[in-house]
Amino acid sequence: MAAKLRVFGIRHHGPGSARRLVEALDELSPALVLIEGPADASELLPLLADPAMVPPVALLTYATDNPARASFWPFATYSPEYQAACWAKRRGAVMRFIDIPASSRLAPAKREGVSGGTPGEPSAEENAPTVESEPGSAHPIERDPIGALAAAGGYEDGESWWRDVIEENPEPSPVFGAIAEAMTALREAAPVPQGHEAAREAHMRLAIAKAAKESDGPIAVVCGAWHVPALEAKVPAGADRALLKNATKAKIVATFAPWTSPRLALASGYGAGVPRPGWCAHLWETPAGEIATRWLARIAAALRENGHLVSTASLIEAERLAVALASLRGRPAPGFEELREAAISCLCFGETLLWRTISPGLLLGSEVGSIPANVPLAPLLEDLAREQKRLRLKPEALDRELALDLRSESGAERSTLLHRLLLLGVNWGRLADAGRSRGTFRERWVLRWEPEFAVKLVENLVHGTTIAKAASGCLHARFSEARELKALADLVFAALTARLPDAVELGIAMLEKRAAQTSDCVELLAALPPLADTLRYGEARAADAAQLAALQTRILVQGALVLPYAARGLDASAAASLRAIIMNADAALRLAELGDDEHSAWRGALAALLKDTQATALIAGTAARLLYQAGELAPEEAALHLGRALSPGRAVAEAAGFFEGFFEGAGERLIHDKALRDAVDAWIQSLDGELFIEHLPLFRRAFANLDRMQRRRLLDALIGRATASLPGRELRPEAEAIWPRHLQRLGALLTGTLKTEKER
Amino acid sequence: MTVAQLPTEALRLPVEAVYAAELEALKRDDAQPKPQGWAMSPRAALIYLMGGKAADGTPISAKYVGDKRLIETAIATLATDRALLLLGMPGTAKSWVSEHLAAAVSGDSTLVIQCTAGTDENQIRYGWNYAQLLAHGPSRKALVQTPLLRAMEAGKLCRLEELTRMGSDVQDTLITVLSEKMMPVPELSTAVYAVRGFNVIATANNRDKGVNELSSALKRRFNVVVLPLPDDMEQEIGIVVKRVGEMSQALELPAPRNVAQEVARVVAIFRELRGGATLDGKVTLKSPSGTLSTAEAIGVVIGGLSHAAFFNGGALSAEGIAPNMVGAIVKDPVQDKVVLEEYLETVLKKRSDYAAYYHLLSDLV
């Protein structure tokens, strides 16, 4: 080899190795920096080091014909790869990616056959966007060998192990030499890489050899520690070429997408992520001597923000405890675990729960990256353009009306696209008849394209690379923010209308969790109407529908159990709002297809309300009314309850509440329901004069919202004038014969089986 | 009193007497650095608590079964001369751990103050021997030393059991002792300064209602370690079966054959309600306000056993257990009832092998 070559094995997203890498680069001063990353995205490397690029960002490659097939390579400020790029840009060194090109990684199918890989490789990867910097490696040891070594050494946190074992090594030796040695030993015990892994390493070896021939100055190779022994191994170039021969290629586009620090975390499903991005960022930003002190200070700040008292003296004690713990465990300085345990013991008074409430903010961070304006076009925009072409929807800056028939394929697909865009905050279309969107098979939209929608789409790139994926990702984020059952149920409904099955699945799971946690009657009952809507309009797949129905039952049962307790001791406004919620829930339940058990649970709760002497009168009246409507309460019984509630022993305000609860909005019922009318009439007549006058304002209030016509009909009914029909109108004898046919036509019209000429 | 002076027929010996051989083995070749006043190094103390092997190969039994990190934090706290507060529900081995820590760190676990609502300052600081006081006037001789004062003078650990059960005003006498490591005796114009090795281990119950809250000034002077309930189902069933066996022998109740089966059901119900989720993790639940500790599960099964022995012809059945269970679960007549009803309707109703429990509990609620 002509030039001096050094291979630096790093830990992906390891602040410790990033710091050491910068020092090593300063020392070596290479003319060429080779970085592990898709070779065909090399021209984007200078852009990564652009000052306007604010990590966390991700390098994104996707197949031109199918943006859903995409790969992300995320970079944080403390990623050694990012620091290497910045170093090269500062020093004017040439930089290049050397890993296997994304074009062959994203090539459709038969990758296994070409590279001789294991047949069991997950095929899901073909379709799902993969997020990885060590793609396809199934073994955690290959993804993060340093983390694996740390775990073997009893450490939870790889960075603390790095510092204690690699950096604080009592016999000072070059860090990267030590890493290479450790990896050689590790790889001797591990199976020889196969398939894709072998091809990647072959490609990197060839790229390094080629660079060595071209370059005069020293060369630095920055790659995952696991690969160091393989890249330093002497393998004939011919053998490597054979591995890469006739690899299929796909046309790809490479660009950058803004990323978020929580997404760097392992928990978000990113294989080569870091468990605690917030801790890593802290390690990177803080001078080595102050790590413990400043970390504890940040914990204290987070606790104070949550309203907990933390004194400076406690901080001192926490640090002392951390140091003592480290020495008990035989570690040179307190690491992440020691600091956590000291913080729990001294600052959180032993409560792990308290730690768990503040730690996500500290550990995951909330940084959102941003990308410069001159990066290539984002795939979401391309996907939208493609969808627009396919569905023949042109973006226009003018208002344009669009009526969609959801029974036709194209209508449904257009509606789905518009609904998905709405979820992404791109209000290209607005529903003209807002409210119930799938109550009918018809939707009316008003379309108007605004330029800022493009920006919105780029922002949404963080959620996914296609409209469908981004909308689903966006819903995922909103699910985790939603606090109330109703909000969750609404989101599930939105996910169903936008046809996002995986979001629906997650939403149902979240609903279940939340339903178990809450015992707030109002929250439980308020969730029933959207759930019933969701079930009724049949958008859900069978499996989801079954789950939703079970959930609805469960929420119903829970709500029914707590309803009697929730109805006690309410003031006027709380009672009125609970009444509205009960009425809505009851209306929803009457429309839902429920089993006998559920009906009886709900009615049992209403009956309990009626019996409970502590229940607020308005609610008890409402319960009586609903039970009566459902046929559970005979007219005489209803009258009996009314009589009891309005007996002289009870306070007038309470009596009025019961009466109002029963009759509010039910004037019509009195006109048509003879049994009830008779019962109430009998009761009123049984009152003696004085009591009657006392209750008069009450009756007046109950009948005040009947209009004149209704009042007159009520009166007519009472004194027995012309019973069923309107006064002055008579039934024609021949009408009786026409009526059945008329009814049939009406029915057909209403169910939509009969179409008028205009509709065709 | 030293170990040698203890009567051999004592009902229960202090742990330093019971485990004298293990403690001796750990001290013998203890090469690790020792904080001043400690009988053994922190690492040896950790082995004593968690079990393992002494330097000479003597096997050391585990005194605490659970998370090693908690014990590490506890020992590290004592090594920083900060006071240690062990919090936890009843039956989570708080006193057991504190006794063993005292035995390991200062070789003496007998300096104990049992705090109650009737504990006054004289039992914490010092009292007066009135005969001496009248005869000779105030002097050190007339002072009655409390375990705390003796621990300060001897450089040992003092244990305060159930700290939160004594009044807040009495608790606060500890503040000076904990922060300045001295106890003023104004009557004699003097003060007692703690010798190195002195420290305090307090235990307190964090679930009981009606106990005195720690003042924040005092709370700040403790490092707190919360001892959790066992997180492994099998381990908990094992503990319950073992304790039930021991207790039924002591009470001379014959143990029916199906004890293990019923214990598994009781523990399962307790764990589900306590943990707020079904054991398969599929359904989340609400937890009642009570603790539902392992100790209560033991009580429920013992109640069932006595029902079986006296009323049910010796067969342990749901009829005997369910009433005790309601008592353990429903501590708050409104809230807990709803929690239990919900659990019955959403979970137990669907399990055929729990049908007896479902019906009995539903009837009782």
Cα angle, residue A273 at apex, residues A267 and A274 outer, rounded to 5°: 85
One domain, residues A306 and A413 = no
Select the highest-mean-pLDDT range: A245-254, A296-305, B9-18: A296-305
User: Measuring CA to CA, which residue among B18, B44, B20, B47 is closest to residue B33?
Assistant: B44
Nearest-CB residue to A346 (from B69, B223, B226): B223
pLDDT of residue A140: 61
Q: Which two tokens stand for residue A215?
A: 């370059």
Count Cβ–Cβ pairs < 8 Å, chain A vs chain B. Answer: 86
Please check whether residue A719 lies inside any domain of the structure.
no
Q: Rounded to an integer, what distance in angstroms lies between the CA atom of residue A362 and that of residue A477?
A: 19
Confidence band of B3 (pLDDT split at 50, 70, 90):
low
pTM tops 0.90 = no
Please check whether residue A725 lies inside any domain of the structure.
no
Confidence band of A145 (pLDDT split at 50, 70, 90):
confident
Residue A342 belongs to domain spanning: 286-364
The answer to whether residue B124 scores a pLDDT higher than 90 is yes
pLDDT of residue B47: 92
**Chain A CB within 8 Å of residue B226 CB:** yes
- Please give the mean pLDDT across all residues of chain B: 86
Sign of CA dihedral A481, A303, A268, A286: positive
Q: Which two tokens stand for residue A723?
A: 């019973």
pLDDT of residue A173: 60
**Chain A CB within 8 Å of residue B280 CB:** no
Torsion of CA A391, A397, A399, A402, to 10 degrees: 0
Please check whether residue A230 lies inside any domain of the structure.
yes
What does the DSSP assignment read for A31-64?
A: SEEEEEEEGGGGGGHHHHT-TT-BSSEEEEEEET
Please list the alpha-helical segments (H only) found in B3-138.
15-18, 20-28, 42-50, 68-79, 94-106, 121-124, 130-136
- The more confident residue out of B91 and A729 is B91
One domain, residues B251 and B338 = yes
pLDDT of residue B4: 53
Nearest-CB residue to B80 (from A321, A330, A565): A321
- The more confident residue out of A407 and A67 is A407
The answer to whether residue B24 scores a pLDDT higher than 60 is yes
One domain, residues A339 and A196 = no
- Please give the mean pLDDT across all residues of chain A: 79
Phi, psi dihedral angles at A30 (to 5 degrees): -70, 155
Sign of CA dihedral A300, A301, A303, A307: positive
pLDDT of residue A294: 93
The answer to whether residue A438 scores a pLDDT higher than 60 is no
The answer to whether residue A248 scores a pLDDT higher than 50 is yes
pLDDT of residue A136: 43
pLDDT of residue A661: 83
For chain B, what is the domain count? 2
Contact residues for A719 (Cβ-Cβ < 8 A; gap 6+): none
The answer to whether residue A134 scores a pLDDT higher than 70 is no
One domain, residues A302 and A432 = no
What percentage of chain A reaches a pLDDT higher than 70? 85
Confidence band of A678 (pLDDT split at 50, 70, 90):
confident
One domain, residues B305 and B343 = yes
One domain, residues A164 and A301 = no
pLDDT of residue A110: 44
The answer to whether residue A381 scores a pLDDT higher than 80 is no
Q: Is-cis flag, bond preceding B186, omega within 30?
A: no
Confidence band of A437 (pLDDT split at 50, 70, 90):
very low
pLDDT of residue A170: 53
One domain, residues A290 and A401 = no
- The more confident residue out of A132 and A375 is A375
Is B43 in Cβ contact with A516 (below 8 Å)?
Answer: no
One domain, residues B72 and B212 = yes
pLDDT of residue A696: 81
The answer to whether residue A541 scores a pLDDT higher than 70 is no
For chain A, what is the domain count? 3
Domain final residue pick, B227, B243, B270? B227
Please check whether residue A47 lies inside any domain of the structure.
yes
pLDDT of residue B348: 86
Cα–Cα distances in Å, from B73 out to A279, B63, B79? 21, 16, 10
Task: Give A347's DSSP letter.
Answer: I
Contact residues for B246 (Cβ-Cβ < 8 A; gap 6+): none
Confidence band of B299 (pLDDT split at 50, 70, 90):
confident
Q: Rounded to an integer, what distance in angstroms lies between the CA atom of residue A251 and that of residue A82?
A: 26
Task: Give A460's DSSP letter.
Answer: G
What percentage of chain A reaches a pLDDT higher than 90? 5
Domain final residue pick, A463, A496, A512? A463
Confidence band of A663 (pLDDT split at 50, 70, 90):
confident
Candidates B73, B342, B345: best to mutate against A (most CBs of A within 10 A) is: B73
Residue B288 belongs to domain spanning: 233-364
Mean pLDDT to the nearest integer, A164-188: 75
pLDDT of residue B6: 64
The model's pLDDT over A49-90, given as tens digits with 9 standing for 90+, comes to 888 888 888 888 877 777 677 777 888 898 888 999 999 989
One domain, residues A315 and A195 = no
One domain, residues A300 and A228 = no
A145-182 CB burial, b ≥16 within 10 A, e <16: bbbbbbbeeebbbbbbbbbbbbbeeeeeeebbebbbeb
Is B76 in Cβ contact with A321 (below 8 Å)?
Answer: yes
The answer to whether residue B83 scores a pLDDT higher than 90 is yes
Please check whether residue A372 lies inside any domain of the structure.
no
Closest chain B residue to A351, measured at CA: B226
Residue A154 gets the label, from left (phi > 0), alpha (psi -120 to 50) or beta, of left
pLDDT of residue B104: 94
One domain, residues B54 and B184 = yes
Mean pLDDT to the nearest integer, A94-117: 66
Please check whether residue A645 lies inside any domain of the structure.
no
The answer to whether residue B316 scores a pLDDT higher than 70 is yes
Nearest-CB residue to B345 (from A309, A327, A557): A557
Q: Rounded to an integer, what distance in angstroms lies between the CA atom of residue A66 and that of residue A49?
A: 28
Mean pLDDT to the nearest integer, A179-194: 82
The answer to whether residue B201 scores a pLDDT higher than 90 is yes
Task: Give the H or E element holding residue A261.
Answer: helix A261-264
One domain, residues B138 and B8 = yes
One domain, residues B48 and B184 = yes
Q: Rounded to an integer, what distance in angstroms lies between the CA atom of residue A217 and that of residue A31?
A: 5
Confidence band of A122 (pLDDT split at 50, 70, 90):
very low
One domain, residues B21 and B157 = yes
**Chain A CB within 8 Å of residue B345 CB:** yes
Mean pLDDT to the nearest integer, A537-553: 72
One domain, residues A292 and A232 = no
One domain, residues A207 and A164 = yes
Q: Which two tokens stand for residue B118?
A: 């009737």
Domain final residue pick, A438, A463, A488? A463
Candidates B101, B223, B286: best to mutate against A (most CBs of A within 10 A) is: B223
The least confident of A81-85, B113-117, B233-237 is B233-237
pLDDT of residue A753: 64
Q: Rounded to an integer, what distance in angstroms lies between the CA atom of residue A641 and that of residue A91?
A: 89
Is A516 in Cβ contact with B286 (below 8 Å)?
Answer: yes
pLDDT of residue B202: 95
Q: Is B67 helix (H, G, I), strand (E, B) or coil?
A: coil
Rounded to the nearest angstrom, the minimum Cα separation between A515 and chain B is 8
What percentage of chain B reaches a pLDDT higher than 90? 34
One domain, residues A451 and A325 = no
Rounded to the nearest angstrom, the minimum Cα separation between A669 and chain B is 36
Mean pLDDT to the nearest integer, A510-515: 83
Q: Rounded to an integer, what distance in angstroms lies between the CA atom of residue A511 and that of residue A749?
A: 38
Is the CB of residue A676 less than 8 Å from the CB of residue A638?
Answer: yes
Is B224 in Cβ contact with A349 (below 8 Å)?
Answer: yes
pLDDT of residue A434: 52
Q: Which two tokens stand for residue A199?
A: 């091809």
One domain, residues B166 and B58 = yes
pLDDT of residue A575: 87
Q: Rounded to an integer, what distance in angstroms lies between the CA atom of residue A38 and that of residue A276?
A: 26
Confidence band of A114 (pLDDT split at 50, 70, 90):
very low
Nearest-CB residue to B219 (from A313, A342, A349): A349
**Domain harbouring B108, CATH code:** 3.40.50.300
Q: Rounded to an integer, what distance in angstroms lies between the CA atom of residue A559 and that of residue A562?
A: 5
One domain, residues B50 and B179 = yes
Rounded to the nearest angstrom, the minimum Cα separation between B41 and chain A is 9
The answer to whether residue A377 scores a pLDDT higher than 70 is no
pLDDT of residue A760: 46
Is the CB of residue A500 less than 8 Å from the CB of residue A471?
Answer: yes
One domain, residues B223 and B267 = no
What does the DSSP assignment read for A596-656?
A: HHHHHHHHHHHHHHHH-TTB-HHHHHHHHHHHHHTTSS-HHHHHHHHHHHTSTTS-HHHHH
Q: Is B70 helix (H, G, I), strand (E, B) or coil?
A: helix
Confidence band of A264 (pLDDT split at 50, 70, 90):
confident
The answer to whether residue A332 scores a pLDDT higher than 90 is no
pLDDT of residue A180: 85
* Neighbouring-strand partners of residue B193: B182
Mean pLDDT to the nearest integer, A160-173: 68
The model's pLDDT over B89-112, given as tens digits with 9 standing for 90+, comes to 877 888 889 999 999 999 999 999
One domain, residues B212 and B247 = no
Confidence band of A118 (pLDDT split at 50, 70, 90):
very low
Please check whether residue A575 lies inside any domain of the structure.
no
Q: Is A285 helix (H, G, I), strand (E, B) or coil?
A: helix
A513 chain-B contacts, CB cut-off 8 A:
284
Confidence band of A109 (pLDDT split at 50, 70, 90):
low
Please check whether residue A580 lies inside any domain of the structure.
no
Candidates B32, B80, B84, B340: best to mutate against A (most CBs of A within 10 A) is: B80
The answer to whether residue A536 scores a pLDDT higher than 60 is yes
One domain, residues A12 and A78 = yes
Candidates A316, A346, A563: best to mutate against B (most CBs of B within 10 A) is: A346
The answer to whether residue A137 scores a pLDDT higher than 60 is no
pLDDT of residue A1: 44
Is A325 in Cβ contact with B76 (below 8 Å)?
Answer: yes
What does the DSSP assignment read for A351-380?
A: -HHHHHHHHHHHHH---B-B--TTSPPPHH
Is the CB of residue A362 less than 8 Å from the CB of residue A447?
Answer: no
Contact residues for A556 (Cβ-Cβ < 8 A; gap 6+): A528, A589, A594, A598, A601, A602
Is the CB of residue A165 less than 8 Å from the CB of residue A91?
Answer: no
Select the highest-mean-pLDDT range: A203-207, A448-452, A529-533: A203-207
Confidence band of B250 (pLDDT split at 50, 70, 90):
low
Confidence band of A574 (pLDDT split at 50, 70, 90):
confident
User: % helix / strand / coil in chain B, to the nearest 5?
Assistant: 50, 15, 35
* Neighbouring-strand partners of residue A5: A219
Q: Is A760 exposed, middle or buried (0-12, 13-18, 19+ CB in 10 A)?
A: exposed
pLDDT of residue A83: 92
ipTM associated with this complex: 0.75
One domain, residues B186 and B87 = yes
The least confident of A30-34, A128-132, A567-571 is A128-132
Give the β-pairing of B190-193 and B182-185. Answer: antiparallel
Is B43 in Cβ contact with A320 (below 8 Å)?
Answer: no
Domain final residue pick, B227, B242, B270? B227
pLDDT of residue A707: 77
One domain, residues A213 and A259 = yes
The model's pLDDT over B150-164, given as tens digits with 9 standing for 90+, comes to 999 999 999 999 998
Domain final residue pick, B175, B202, B227? B227
